[in-house]
Amino acid sequence: MTEPIIEITGLCKAFGPLEVLKGIDLTVKRGEVVCIIGPSGSGKSTMLRCVNLLEEPTAGKVVVDGVELTDPDCDIDRARTRVGMVFQGFNLFAHLSVLDNLTIAQRKVLGRPKGDAELVARENLAKVGLGEKAGSMPGQLSGGQQQRVAIARALSMNPEVMLFDEPTSALDPELVGDVLGVMRQLADDGMTMLVVTHEMQFAREVADRVLFMDGGYVVEEGPAEQVIGAPREERTRSFLARVLDPVHNAGA
């Protein structure tokens, strides 16, 4: 686990006068799992979305697997296929079967023949424990199952890196574990993952590194046992006190 696969330097993003990212530097090695935590509005999602240029940085450089996505000459559609993304809201096509949700981008973007795309789709559905659901429509599945379909869809593009933007935040609590289980398995299989999450237990158990973001900066980063277990910065401590003991703090 030595080769850098994501290299972000001097990343800035502003929406009009609002400066959301104020100079982020981040290198992620192949196979590394990095969790990003921080208060609402600190820029976590924006940072993630800049990694595959769903948001265009105002300044700075993003390189994934040796390809500079911020280069104006970059074939961005092609480059994006290296980066799988899973959103809070699943983003499945409601009018397409699970199988078609998994094959459409493979066929349109990668140009894979139908039979090959279906084979890859079925392999990835099996990987997320939904081998039986290929013919279902998304609306017939639970939120947790839909999110696992979304993960299988991203994997079907053979990404080098997977980005997760609060993948369990929209789920009923009893469905969260299944999705985190699939993510844990992916991490064990060696996938490079960048995960914006409020699941501190997951971060503690799975992340190689945790970043705490606040106000558009990475305030603190290190192994989970340091950043979550024994944070050095006061801002990290007060955030964790709020999220780890929300009931007590709401009453305070």
Q: Is 20 in the site for ligand ATP (CB under 6 A)?
A: yes
Nearer to ligand ATP, 128 or 207 (CB): 207
Nearer to ligand ATP, 13 or 112 (CB): 13
Give the DSSP H or E segment for 11. strand 4-15
Nearer to ligand ATP, 129 or 215 (CB): 215
Q: Is 15 in the site for ligand ATP (CB under 6 A)?
A: yes
Report how far residue 85's alpha carbon sits from residue 63's, in angstroms, rounded to the nearest whole number.
16
Q: What are the DSSP calls for 142-201, one per residue? A: -HHHHHHHHHHHHHTT--SEEEEESTTTTS-HHHHHHHHHHHHHHHHTT-EEEEE-S-HH
Nearer to ligand ATP, 20 or 120 (CB): 20
Nearer to ligand ATP, 46 or 145 (CB): 46
Nearer to ligand ATP, 44 or 133 (CB): 44
Among positions 34, 42, 85, 210, the unique one binding ligand ATP when judged by CB under 6 A: 42
**233 and 213 Cβ atoms separated by less than 8 Å:** no
Region 91-130 residues binding ligand ATP, contact defined as CB under 6 A: none
User: To the nearest whole angstrom, how small is the minimum distance from the Cβ of residue 172 to ligand ATP?
Assistant: 19
User: To the nearest whole angstrom, how small is the minimum distance from the Cβ of residue 117 to ligand ATP?
Assistant: 32
Q: Is 2 in the site for ligand ATP (CB under 6 A)?
A: no
Structure tokens at 209: 């590194």
Instruction: Count Cβ atoms below 10 Å from residue 91 Cβ, excluding itself.
Output: 12
Report how far residue 121's alpha carbon sits from residue 110's, in angstroms, rounded to the nearest whole number.
13
Report how far residue 140's alpha carbon sits from residue 150's, in angstroms, rounded to the nearest whole number.
14
Q: How many residues interact with ligand ATP (rule CB under 6 A)?
A: 11
Residue 245 DSSP symbol: S
3-state secondary structure 25-72: EEEEECCCEEEEECCCCCCHHHHHHHHCCCCCCCEEEEEECCEECCCC
Report how far residue 213's alpha carbon sits from residue 40's, in angstroms, rounded to the nearest whole number.
10
User: To the nearest whole angstrom, how small is the minimum distance from the Cβ of residue 71 to ligand ATP?
Assistant: 23
Q: Is 40 in the site for ligand ATP (CB under 6 A)?
A: yes
Report how far residue 53's alpha carbon sits from residue 165's, in angstroms, rounded to the nearest whole number.
14
Nearer to ligand ATP, 118 or 220 (CB): 220
**212 and 227 Cβ atoms separated by less than 8 Å:** yes
The one segment of 39-47, 149-157, 185-193, 232-240 that binds ligand ATP by CB under 6 A: 39-47
Among positions 43, 57, 84, 159, the unique one binding ligand ATP when judged by CB under 6 A: 43
Q: Is 10 in the site for ligand ATP (CB under 6 A)?
A: no
Q: Is 44 in the site for ligand ATP (CB under 6 A)?
A: yes
**Residues in contact with ligand ATP by the rule CB under 6 A:** 15, 18, 20, 38, 40-46
